[in-house]
Amino acid sequence: MEGKVELHCHSDGVVDPAMLRDLSRGGENFEATAKELENAYPVTSLERWSETYEGALRGFWRPTAERTKLVARAQRERWREQEVRYAELFVSRILGAVPEGEPLREWFRALAQDLSSPAGYPEVSIVLCVSRSKVTQHVQRIVDLARAGLIAGVALAGDERACLIRDLQAALERIRATGIGIEIHAGEVGGPESVRDALDYGRPDRLGHGIGAFEDRGLVERIAREQVHLEFCPTSNLRLGVIPAIQELPVKLALDAGVSFSINTDDPGVFQCSLTSELNLVREAFGLSESDMDRVLLNSFRAGFGPQRAHQGR
């Protein structure tokens, strides 16, 4: 398959010192922030992520609405440089930063325009990323954006052990009725029970990470049978201790079980990686052939929430 595909990349995790210095050429000076951010690496735990990486960028994210569009454009260019064909950007922080109604719709229209590439690629779809704990609070805004055609999907992030999908079932049914894609982060820090909760009560198209599912063979068979796509994020899982070594990423198990999966960066600015480096890491670690990689990329594209979703009649 021609071109790379990325389905799991958070807008608030793409910033790194090099991006800040590139953005400084636009008129604002982010050099001090870039120097502070350099001291945040390596990020090897959620605690260090919060204390150092997010701490260094706390001032940068104000004003949130404008800075989010700024980094989105920069990430689009990085995807273009890596010859990415299709990508999805998980956009966070916005529901609390822009007034609901027409101002929020207009912000998403402007973001879509910013993400349209003059080169024709990559094609970038917007996925609204919301914390599990805030889905019910924001469900009407999500539904409004979906009905206006301004988001391709919604991703549920946050602590999978503290907030069960079972308790969000009604809100998710309202979102599903709009026809957009649903992604749920599960099986990252939680085990099979977290994945089962997501499948039973959220009925997602995709699972973010999904590593915990591979502790239960029957659950893996169910994922394959129900055609739920998994978004693997190798370096993220390695750095945060989800897997002890790259060889423990269940790539071979997924291939053997017929599970559709993609390779993603999660937060490339946090984990100092790129989509190209992640694909190379997996290819070399597991000795994947070109046909294996083509299969992964094709399955990734088919699992996208963009125009290909409507074309496949989901």
Q: Rounded distance, CA 74 to CA 77, Å?
A: 5
Q: Is 188 a catalytic residue?
A: yes
Catalytic residue among 160, 183, 188, 231: 188
What letters, b where the CB count within 10 A reaches 16 and e where it falls short, cover 263-280? bbbbbbbbbbbbbebbbe
Is the N-terminal amide bond of 122 cis, ω within 30° of 0?
yes
Are residues 124 and 84 in contact, defined by beta-carbon separation less than 8 angstroms? no
Residue with tokens 């950007």: 89
Q: Rounded distance, CA 14 to CA 89, Å?
A: 10
Going by the DSSP 8-state scheme, the letter that residue 120 receives in this structure is S
Q: Measured between alpha carbons, how far is residue 162 from residues 9, 133, 166, 194, 243 in Å?
A: 23, 9, 12, 10, 21
**Which residues participate in catalysis according to the annotation?**
188
